[in-house]
Structure 1
């Protein structure tokens, strides 16, 4: 096993420290730096390495023990558990945190995007509507190929679709917020976002949610555009929350 003295860094953020410690240990396991059967450093050692109180480390280890990630041996210490021996599947702390962040971003985007769509229904030009329809057609074509063949292209076209709708609202503040949300997804959550899209965001039923938004824009029906967009993003968040296998 590699030198464990450099496995963990100090944590400077004051919030949810036990979760941060649990995530860091889980990431060390996922990366192979810690293997099943390896003994974790003592509470005192982990406290010093992370720069947190021993009670924080104790809570983090308790959480990992509950989730079957580590096992305690009386008088010996805590050890990395064998994944094949876990009694039940549970979401890792790292995966749970990513899912929570994506859900929060979807919740934020629901209101922002619904407002932008409502305005765009009244302000969009014929040229902008044609561009929106063209993007949707390309998105539907990649959707038909399935996630195995066209996952990234399909996801990127969906992002482009709603970015273009937002721009059609003519409100740069909506565009700035949407750009911030997209940047967060692309820079911090891209892998998790793609995996979720592959599992829940393909198929005719999903396309119909997007189609309802475009139909409202085409009809220049502001309230219908608001409702269709809100429904689209609320359902996406609900599907994500319902996934027990999210990784």
Structure 2
């Protein structure tokens, strides 16, 4: 939550919503506005001070720093650590989901295909919404691959992938959404999912497995290539 709030406040400063010299709202006001505890807001403001976006005035409060006084832009090392964890999960699920797709191509029903097609359409509509649909895109993609796991007929695959998704929700949800917005936001990535769907629909086991492996391998590479990007 601290990551999210500090990013939101940074964006408000950098986009001019909070102007240079303007006093920040009180911690209590920001906490109520964002729906978080005051301690979260306090830590987020502390990060903005560290990055030179905010100045503290003893006994008065926090103010947006003048652009000329701001320190060089820095990226919080924590964002790199979280990306690394997400990268490791992507690498882990590559083989498991690839196997699930092959099994699904062999045993899928017409109903399974309908579920996958609906999830795919949800991914399309999320992209059409612009970056505001990033969270919906993450959910739709997760649903798409969950239906593939269900169609595989292997309960252990489904349980294992559900466990990984739960881990992301607990620790990495914000970075997963930010990554979707930055690296997975294109028609080309959607084509990767389409190839998976087509292969399963055609009951081509090898093509389904390879299409999944292709997507997750490239998704992991796109994430790794973000080494010089901020989570904005």
When the two structures are superposed, what TM-score results if normalisation uses the length of structure 2?
0.69
In structure 2, runs of 5+ residues without a counterpart are 1-39, 53-64
Q: How does 1:106-117 map to 2 (within 5 A)?
A: 106-117=90-101
- Asked if 1:221 is matched to 2:209, the reply is no
In the alignment, is the contact (CA less than 8 A) between 1:29 and 1:35 conserved in 2? no
Distance 1:109 1:32, change over 3 A: same
Richer in helix (by share): 2
Report the Cα distance in structure 2 between the residues aligned to 1:147 and 1:35, rounded to whole angstroms: 24
In the alignment, is the contact (CA less than 8 A) between 1:107 and 1:237 conserved in 2? yes
Q: What's the CA shift for 1:84?
A: 3.1
Residue in 1 that maps onto 2:79 = 95
Residue in 2 that maps onto 1:197 = 180
Q: How does 1:37-186 map to 2 (within 5 A)?
A: 84-86=70-72, 89-148=73-132, 150-186=133-169
Q: What's the CA shift for 1:103?
A: 0.1
Distance 1:135 1:201, change over 3 A: same
Of 32, 38, 62, which aligns to 2:45?
A: 32
Distance 1:35 1:176, change over 3 A: closer
Report the Cα distance in structure 2 between the residues aligned to 1:157 and 1:239, rounded to whole angstroms: 19
Superposed CA offset, 1:155-199 (max 9, x none): 111100001111100101111110011001111111111011011
Q: What's the CA shift for 1:210?
A: 0.2
Superposed CA offset, 1:55-107 (max 9, x none): xxxxxxxxxxxxx99xxxxxxxxxxxx99333xx5542211110000000000
Q: What's the CA shift for 1:130?
A: 1.5
3-state DSSP of counterpart to 1:220: coil
Report the Cα distance in structure 2 between the residues aligned to 1:100 and 1:34, rounded to whole angstroms: 21
Q: How does 1:4-15 map to 2 (within 5 A)?
A: none
Q: What's the CA shift for 1:29?
A: 9.0
Distance 1:129 1:213, change over 3 A: same
When the two structures are superposed, what TM-score results if normalisation uses the length of structure 1?
0.65
Q: Where in structure 1 do 4 or more consecutive aligned residues deviate above 6 Å?
A: none
In structure 1, runs of 5+ residues without a counterpart are 1-26, 38-67, 70-81
